[in-house]
Amino acid sequence: MTTLGMRGPVRIRREHAAVLVTFGLLVAMFAAGSIVYPGFGSGQVVVDLFIDNGFLLVIAIGMTFVILTGGIDLSVGAVAALSAMLCAFLLEQWHWPVAAVLPLVLLVGIGFGFGMGYVIHHFEIQPFIATLAGMFLARGLCFVISIDQISITNPFFTEWAQTRIPLGEETNLTPTVLIGLAVLAGAFWTLHYTRFGRAVYAIGGSAQSALLMGLPVARTRIGAYMVSGLCSSLGGLLFAFYTISASGLHEVGTELDAIAAVVIGGTLLTGGSGYVVGTALGVMLLGTIQTMLRFQGTLSSWWTRIAIGVLLLLFILLQRLLGSSRTRR
């Protein structure tokens, strides 16, 4: 517990420590990049972190809900790709209006989340297995729709992709950033100021205890996967806006990036402890690593994976150490 006063040390709560470490590491890496590479510390580079990783931020927020319940969702990347493919197909092949396509695509993501959550809870299937099946199903449906990449020429998409919102003389952002921040704010409010959010934390701490307390375990657990499905579909749409295309090969490995961002952001894989703000910091940290490699210019992009692997291992060890210290008390 945190104690503030004129005298004595300030003790930081265990669940806050990992978030503070992530924030400190993000600041340190960005400061180092600003010193080493000219232009790295500009406002546009900061904004570009949100532009380039807006879709991952949204997907990782949905993943946070699931992991907080003690589950996991391996289908998020495939559902995002399916959402983009379905959107592109309906717009370009069947010429549906955007107003009908976008809600339908989001409903498909919610439906995927409901199905997996229902199977996991009522049939007591391990989340790893159930969502792995969902991943294969969604990825396969992508290639049923089309084995080729589909370019999106719809005027709404092209105008959205070209829209820039000025923040200054040399800094501008895209509407995608605003959507990502809105989802982050909504998720924060939901987790900390609603009954559903409190139930999510309680189930992650102990599903049996939550059931004895009279909490709606089934509805909450399924709802968490529905949130993940919704965020996956929205992330897929944002990625389609970003690339103006859709392909069954898009978003491969995104589920691993999302899990890494959530864990690096301080959320326990066992559930019950974590914050979406930490997830956002985790996404920005991964984006900063990629940006530093781009500025460096000579290193392979695979060094990003190496750095993520090292960070993930370190944060898992940190969580373990913090948990052990709490147990000893």
Instruction: Look at residue 145 and tell me if it is in a domain.
Output: yes
CB 165 within 8 A of CB 173: yes
CA pair distance 201, 15, nearest whole angstrom: 12
The answer to whether the pTM exceeds 0.85 is yes
Q: Residue 245 corresponds to which tokens in the numbers above?
A: 């295309």
Instruction: Look at residue 213 and tell me if it is in a domain.
Output: yes
* Number of domains within the chain: 1
Run of H or E residues at 150: strand 150-151
CB 190 within 8 A of CB 62: no
Instruction: Look at residue 136 and tell me if it is in a domain.
Output: yes
Please give the chain's pLDDT, 329 residues, in tens. Answer: 444 444 444 455 666 777 888 899 899 988 998 998 888 888 888 899 999 999 999 999 999 999 999 999 999 999 999 999 999 999 999 999 999 999 999 999 999 999 999 999 999 999 999 999 999 999 999 999 999 999 999 999 989 888 999 887 778 999 999 999 999 999 999 999 999 999 999 999 898 999 989 999 999 999 999 999 999 999 999 999 999 999 999 999 899 999 999 999 989 888 988 999 999 999 999 999 888 888 887 766 677 788 888 888 888 887 777 665 544 44
Give me the residues paired with residue 275 across strands: none
Instruction: Look at residue 131 and tell me if it is in a domain.
Output: yes
Instruction: Look at residue 40 and tell me if it is in a domain.
Output: no
Instruction: Look at residue 230 and tell me if it is in a domain.
Output: yes
Angle at 57 between CA 267 and CA 156, to 5 degrees: 160
Give me the residues paired with residue 150 across strands: 246
CB 57 within 8 A of CB 185: no
The domain in which residue 146 lies consists of: 48-252+269-275
Task: DSSP for 241-270, please give it.
Answer: HHHTEE-TTTTTTHHHHHHHHHHHTT--TT
Pairing type for strands 150-151 and 245-246 reads antiparallel
Instruction: Look at residue 43 and tell me if it is in a domain.
Output: no
Instruction: Look at residue 218 and tell me if it is in a domain.
Output: yes
